[in-house]
């Protein structure tokens, strides 16, 4: 079993260790870093229509702005945590901040879509190092039970609320500055955090075998990237296209190779014993499916409000806050509910509610009926997500051994991000295909009448609506599958739940 060591420094004049006297400042620094990572999952969503227009992205390719970040973040998160533990948590934290800021600057200065996609992937790589390092720094800084609980409450609150802040901040920056500032804003934040971290955060590292599962990381990253590319290409070339089929097959084969590697290596990125447990594996699969449907459909919620209802960036960002309200209501309630009834009913109910709320959005129209057609669906989605996230966070840690606790905790966020990348790409493919088919049918029906700007504008709006509601319908179906999975696999009772709560889970 590995052990943690702290690099020693002389005590301050009062005799108290430096870490003790500055620990609350460390919490502030870690919170800033965590907020930055969570913000970037949503802040660019509101700005995406402007970025797409500025860089002339195709409808099929626009999703890479979201998926490139989520894919790199999710696929490398477990490796990043292990590197942080053995390389040094402070070193990993500062390096992650520097890299994240540099990638953000590149994205803010992007001159074409390839440059933007690459910068987003690079952000994800450094976020995969930064996020677990930040959590580890918090863990070794706060060792007393009550203080650690307070610190983790702050950390968890930022994780949950960061998505909402990202939507609002993204709208403000896009509308009153430029979409580029949704990325550039990370640079001054990171500089402040780095300068504060250098003297205040103490170095710590785990002792033991420092070998890393590089083959596993490569296999899972390439496999997921191949699947995302296959889904993206299907939107333009169709599902029967040779390269589309080849990439999808390659993705599946690479993921099979990943499982084979994890089964044989002694230093697995994701030890298979973690997912082999019925409750843990089932809850992680639910998170994968719900994350895929929710994160993927969020993109189209914003595009619907901005493209069809013609909301400004700030109004669109605020318009999505109904989800956050719902999450806070049920997340708080379920924390008290889980110890009494166990996770099965809340998890199933949450997935069903999320599916119902998403299906509600299939009834949206080109008319601005937000209060009746949009807001109720978003609140219901949020109510469901609050139940799902808290249930998974507890269920995934049932019966976990100490040596696997870190990997099991990290796997929750990892599968959510991976699911988001796959779901965004898949739903974007369905939506883009539906839009293209609608326009082709109308072109055949209307012919020369489409030359009239008013007719064309109306047709495009209805085509977009058809595409977005198609995405919502598929997302709802995926969530229903998640509910079925929870009913079949998750059977843990209330006595099996671990005490002390689970890890923070990003919302969006």
Nearest to 92 by CA among 208, 210, 204: 204
pLDDT at 16 over 60: no
φ/ψ of residue 506, rounded to 5: -70, 145
Q: What is residue 2's predicted lDDT score, i.e. its pLDDT?
A: 44
Lowest mean pLDDT of 14-28, 81-95, 296-310, 421-435, name the range. 14-28
pLDDT at 6 over 60: no
Q: Which has more pLDDT, 330 or 111?
A: 111
pLDDT tens-place string over residues 241-254: 999 999 999 999 99
Nearest-angstrom CA–CA distance, 402 and 449 = 68
Q: Which residue in this structure is represented by tokens 């709320």? A: 357
Q: What is residue 331's predicted lDDT score, i.e. its pLDDT?
A: 81
Q: What is residue 100's predicted lDDT score, i.e. its pLDDT?
A: 96
| Across 69-98, average pLDDT | 91
φ/ψ of residue 475, rounded to 5: -60, -40
Instruction: Give the pLDDT band (50/70/90) at residue 86.
Output: confident
Rg (CA), the chain: 23
Q: Which has more pLDDT, 486 or 138?
A: 486
Name all contacts of 179-184 with Cβ < 8 Å and 24+ positions apart: 179/44, 179/47, 179/48, 179/50, 179/51, 179/54, 180/108, 180/109, 180/110, 181/108, 182/43, 182/44, 182/46, 182/47, 182/108, 183/44, 183/104, 183/105, 183/107, 183/108, 183/119, 184/104, 184/105, 184/108
Output the pTM of the full model.
0.87
| Across 262-290, average pLDDT | 90
Instruction: Give the pLDDT band (50/70/90) at residue 20.
Output: low
The single-letter DSSP state of residue 60 is T
Written in H, E and C, the secondary structure of 167-219 is: HHHHHHHHHHCCCCHHHHCHHHHHHHHHHHHHHHCCCEEEECCCCCCHHHHHH
Nearest-angstrom CA–CA distance, 359 and 482 = 15
pLDDT tens-place string over residues 211-223: 888 999 999 999 9
3-state SS assignment for residue 4: strand
pLDDT tens-place string over residues 433-473: 999 999 999 988 888 888 888 888 899 999 999 999 999 99
């Amino acid at each position: 079993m590995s052990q943690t060591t702290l690099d020693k420094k002389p005590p301050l004049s009062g005799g108290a260790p430096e870490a003790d006297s500055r620990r609350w400042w460390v919490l502030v620094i870690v919170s800033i870093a965590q907020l930055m990572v969570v913000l970037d999952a949503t802040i660019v969503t509101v700005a995406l229509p402007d970025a797409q227009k500025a860089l002339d992205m195709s409808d099929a390719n626009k999703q890479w702005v979201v998926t490139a970040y989520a894919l790199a973040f999710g696929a490398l998160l477990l490796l990043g945590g292990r590197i942080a533990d053995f390389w040094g948590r402070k070193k990993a934290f500062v390096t992650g901040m520097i890299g994240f800021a540099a990638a953000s600057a590149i994205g803010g200065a992007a001159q074409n879509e390839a440059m933007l996609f690459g910068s987003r992937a690079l952000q994800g790589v450094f976020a995969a190092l930064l996020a677990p390092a930040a959590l580890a720094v918090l863990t070794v800084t706060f060792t007393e039970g009550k203080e650690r609980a307070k610190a983790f409450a702050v950390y968890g609150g930022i994780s949950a609320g960061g998505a909402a802040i990202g939507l609002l901040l993204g709208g403000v920056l896009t509308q009153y500055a430029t979409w580029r500032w949704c990325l550039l804003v990370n640079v001054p934040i990171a500089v402040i955090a780095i300068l504060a971290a250098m003297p205040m955060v103490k170095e710590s590292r785990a002792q033991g075998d420092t070998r890393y599962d590089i083959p596993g990381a490569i296999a899972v990253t390439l496999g997921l990237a191949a699947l995302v590319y296959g889904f993206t290409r299907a939107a333009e070339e169709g599902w029967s296209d040779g390269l589309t089929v080849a990439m999808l097959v390659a993705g599946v084969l690479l993921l099979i190779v990943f499982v084979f590697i994890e089964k044989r290596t002694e230093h697995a990125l994701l030890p298979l014993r973690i997912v082999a447990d019925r409750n843990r594996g089932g809850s992680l699969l639910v998170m994968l499916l719900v994350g895929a449907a929710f994160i993927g459909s969020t993109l189209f919620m914003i595009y619907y409000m901005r493209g069809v209802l013609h909301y400004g960036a700030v109004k669109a960002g605020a318009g999505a806050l109904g989800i956050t309200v719902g999450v806070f209501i049920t997340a708080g309630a379920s924390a008290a509910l889980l110890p009494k009834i166990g996770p099965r009913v809340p998890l199933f109910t949450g997935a069903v509610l999320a599916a119902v709320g998403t299906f509600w959005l299939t009834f949206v129209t080109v008319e601005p009926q937000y209060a009746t057609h949009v807001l109720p669906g978003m609140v219901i989605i949020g109510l469901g997500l609050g139940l799902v996230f808290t249930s998974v966070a507890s269920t995934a840690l049932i019966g976990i051994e100490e040596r696997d606790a870190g990997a099991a905790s990290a796997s929750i966020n990892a599968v959510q991000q991976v699911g988001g990348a796959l779901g965004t790409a898949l739903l974007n493919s369905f939506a883009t295909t539906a839009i293209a088919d609608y326009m082709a049918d109308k072109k055949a029906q209307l012919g020369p009448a489409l030359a009239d700007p008013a007719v064309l504008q109306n047709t495009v709006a209805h085509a977009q609506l058809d595409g977005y509601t198609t995405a919502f319908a598929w997302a709802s179906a995926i969530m229903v599958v998640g509910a079925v999975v929870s009913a079949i696999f998750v059977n843990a009772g209330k006595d099996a739940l671990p005490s002390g709560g689970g890890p923070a889970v990003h919302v969006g």
